[in-house]
Amino acid sequence: MPASTSATADPHRHDAKPRRRAGRPAAAVLDQDGITAAALQLIGKSGYEGFTMAALARTLNVAPSALYNHVSSKRDVLVLVQDHLTSFVDVSAFDAEPWDRAVRSWAWSYRDVFSKHTPLIPVIAVLPVTDAPKTLAMYEAVSAGFRRAGFPQERIISAIVALESFIFGSAYDVTAPSDIFDSGSMAESTPNFTAAVARLADQGYENQADVAFELGLGALVTGFGALRG
Amino acid sequence: MPASTSATADPHRHDAKPRRRAGRPAAAVLDQDGITAAALQLIGKSGYEGFTMAALARTLNVAPSALYNHVSSKRDVLVLVQDHLTSFVDVSAFDAEPWDRAVRSWAWSYRDVFSKHTPLIPVIAVLPVTDAPKTLAMYEAVSAGFRRAGFPQERIISAIVALESFIFGSAYDVTAPSDIFDSGSMAESTPNFTAAVARLADQGYENQADVAFELGLGALVTGFGALRG
DNA sequence: CCACTAAATGAATGCCGTTCATTTAGACTA
DNA sequence: TAGTCTAAATGAACGGCATTCATTTAGTGG
């Protein structure tokens, strides 16, 4: 039976300990960690367009079908990659800094990690935490930070979800073309919008996505900070 | 030359007026509006998994390749659908209510429309407004509302972008499974998170995604409201 | 009636994720 | 040592996908 990251647990498994019934073949060429690492490297080199099961198998010197002994679908591989990436999100500030600074630090880190992996966002956004242990560990660290800061327990999850939604949406902005708001030939019929875009451009040279992120993050942190007991 | 919604404008076009050089064939079976309507209907019936160029052609009683006389790619069709959907977003409150209530009304409407079409979010989030006239019209209405409310011009776009990011991220939440936060067998190692999830569940029967959206939207509206002159 | 052209056709292309019967080769048992 | 069990790898195959292209169709203006 192949390994699986699927959400539905195997109902035939009697206990947690994996029972070895008989002999095993020698050093397996493949395992989930190796697949995850190779996938991450491939994505880094070829992007998500070039990330195919065939290409992944090639980098592992293996037939494409061999992957399916360790993973049940391409989506499974994406889940593994997503969870691994989440371990790069920096939650250390929750142990070292006041709540508002910790949230900001975490949020920026989170956005930066996934702005380079926006195709994973539809996956991660609806993924049960059971299937992503490192992601769960991140939530635990953040939840602990909120609790220590005096947050009412029944608001913690909602606040984290709201922040995360803002973070995911903002990750897309980072990859948007810089002329995304150029109204072109329709400028005359959209005077208010066109003027606002022009005024924004007049401002400094700072990244537009960063400015919006800072603005929204500030509002969320201030607003949520008022909930603390 | 086939019609195109592509971002790069045709450099060979001399003026805006479409010059008819010679005779035209009779009633074309297909046009962009018809394709858009059929696509929307097909998506409603079969979802985005069932939305293929072949299936779309079938509903139009046409060969798949015929679509490419009016549209340059499947992505083009998605852009057409996205823009059409945006016209369903309600911006009327900006003409009838105070700014904060108008923003809330618009944001809820925007989220509700795209929570049923999350596969379009990666498309819309990075789409130049030139390619989506109805989307541009929405931005104009919102920008006008912000300006009338006394917003400094150079902050209007950033505030809208931040709100939109939050809206897109929140649209995913609506489609997430309700047990997404069930930590299962790892509950013992994540006490803070697990407790917070339990406390949230103790609360009313309200939709979890709606609670988080309301919480975040309130913070953003309050925070941005303070920017008005 | 002819020349022109937008639009539809249908076959072909290349890629994709995935399945499956079969083979391989260690490891335990007797 | 011989026999058996099994996880894992193979390679061929499948169906589906978006897209391309040479060709045909059928109105229209000259």
The answer to whether B30 CB sits below 7 Å from nucleic acid chain C is: yes
Q: Whole-angstrom Cα distance, residue B229 to residue A145?
A: 35
Dihedral pair phi/psi, residue B4, rounded to 5°:
-150, 145
Protein-covered nucleotides of chain D (CB closer than 7 Å) are 4-12, 16-22, 25-29
Q: Which of B55, B149, B57, B147 is nearest to A192 (CA)?
A: B147
Both tokens assigned to A33: 């960690």
B137·A190 Cβ contact <8 A: yes
Angle (deg, nearest 10), helices A133-148 and A153-175: 120
Residue matched to tokens 């998605």: B78
B201 at A interface, C-beta within 8 A? no
Cβ neighbours for A55, distance < 8 A, ≥ 6 positions apart: A42, A46
CA distance B85 to chain A (A): 19
Q: What is the pLDDT of residue A30?
A: 74
Summarised one tens digit per residue, pLDDT across range A142-196 is 999 999 999 999 999 999 999 999 999 999 999 999 999 999 889 999 999 999 9
Both tokens assigned to B48: 């985005």
What are the angstrom distances between the C-alpha of A45 and each of A56, A58, B164?
Answer: 11, 14, 31
Residue B70 DSSP SS3: coil
Residue B228 DSSP SS3: coil
Residue matched to tokens 């690492």: A37
B202·A154 Cβ contact <8 A: yes
Rg (CA), chain B: 22
- For B183, the closest of A129, A146, A197 (CB atoms) is A129
Summarised one tens digit per residue, pLDDT across range B201-219 is 998 767 999 999 999 999 9
List the alpha helices (DSSP H) in A60-180. 74-86, 99-115, 121-124, 133-148, 153-175
Report residues 122-181 of A contacting strand D, contact meaning Cβ closer than 7 Å.
none
Protein-covered nucleotides of chain C (CB closer than 7 Å) are 3-11, 15-21, 24-29
Residue B74 binned pLDDT confidence (cut-offs 50, 70, 90) = very high
Burial of A24 (0-12, 13-18, 19+ CB in 10 A): exposed
Residue B5 binned pLDDT confidence (cut-offs 50, 70, 90) = very low
Residue B186 DSSP SS3: helix
A166·B166 Cβ contact <8 A: yes
Summarised one tens digit per residue, pLDDT across range B192-203 is 999 999 999 998
Q: Is A184 left (phi over 0), alpha (psi -120 to 50) or beta?
A: left
Q: What is the pLDDT of residue A6?
A: 36
Residue A23 DSSP SS3: coil
Judged against a pLDDT cut of 80, whether residue B3 lies above it is answered with no
What are the angstrom distances between the C-alpha of A14 and each of A17, A19, A109, B174?
Answer: 9, 10, 40, 35
Asked if A96 contacts B146 with a C-beta cutoff of 8 angstroms, the reply is: no
Output the CA torsion A52→A55→A59→A61 (10° steps): 120
What are the angstrom distances between the C-alpha of B135 and each of A164, A207, B75, B96, B123?
Answer: 25, 23, 16, 21, 13
Both tokens assigned to A34: 């190796």
Burial of A56 (0-12, 13-18, 19+ CB in 10 A): buried
Q: Tell me the domains of chain A and their CATH numbers.
A: 32-84 (1.10.10.60), 88-225 (1.10.357.10)
Summarised one tens digit per residue, pLDDT across range B146-155 is 999 999 999 9
Residue B203 DSSP SS3: coil
Q: What is the pLDDT of residue B191?
A: 98
Judged against a pLDDT cut of 70, whether residue B225 lies above it is answered with yes
Asked if A55 contacts A46 with a C-beta cutoff of 8 angstroms, the reply is: yes
Give nearest nucleotide to B3 (CA–C1'). C6
Tens-of-pLDDT digits for all 229 residues of chain A?
333 333 333 333 333 333 333 444 545 667 899 999 999 999 999 999 999 999 999 999 999 999 999 999 999 999 999 999 999 999 999 999 999 999 999 999 999 999 999 999 999 999 999 999 999 999 999 999 999 999 999 999 999 999 999 999 999 999 999 999 999 889 999 999 999 999 999 987 679 999 999 999 999 999 999 999 8
Burial of B128-151, coded b for 16+ CB within 10 Å and e otherwise, reads bbbbbbebbbbbbbbbbbbbebeb
Q: Is B206 left (phi over 0), alpha (psi -120 to 50) or beta?
A: beta
CA dihedral sign of residues A17, A18, A22, A26: negative
- Residue B19 CA to its chain's centroid (Å): 34
Q: Whole-angstrom Cα distance, residue B53 to residue B110?
A: 27
Report residues 1-20 of A contacting strand C, contact meaning Cβ closer than 7 Å.
20
B101 at A interface, C-beta within 8 A? no
Give the least confident one: B14-28, B38-52, B54-68: B14-28
Asked if A197 contacts B157 with a C-beta cutoff of 8 angstroms, the reply is: yes
Q: What is the pLDDT of residue B27?
A: 56
What are the angstrom distances between the C-alpha of A96 and each of A86, A90, A101, B135?
Answer: 20, 12, 10, 44
Q: What is the pLDDT of residue B203?
A: 87
% of chain B with per-residue pLDDT over 70: 87
Identify the residue with better confidence: B23 or A193.
Answer: A193
B82 at A interface, C-beta within 8 A? no
Average pLDDT, chain B: 89
Residue matched to tokens 């700014």: B99
Cβ neighbours for A205, distance < 8 A, ≥ 6 positions apart: none
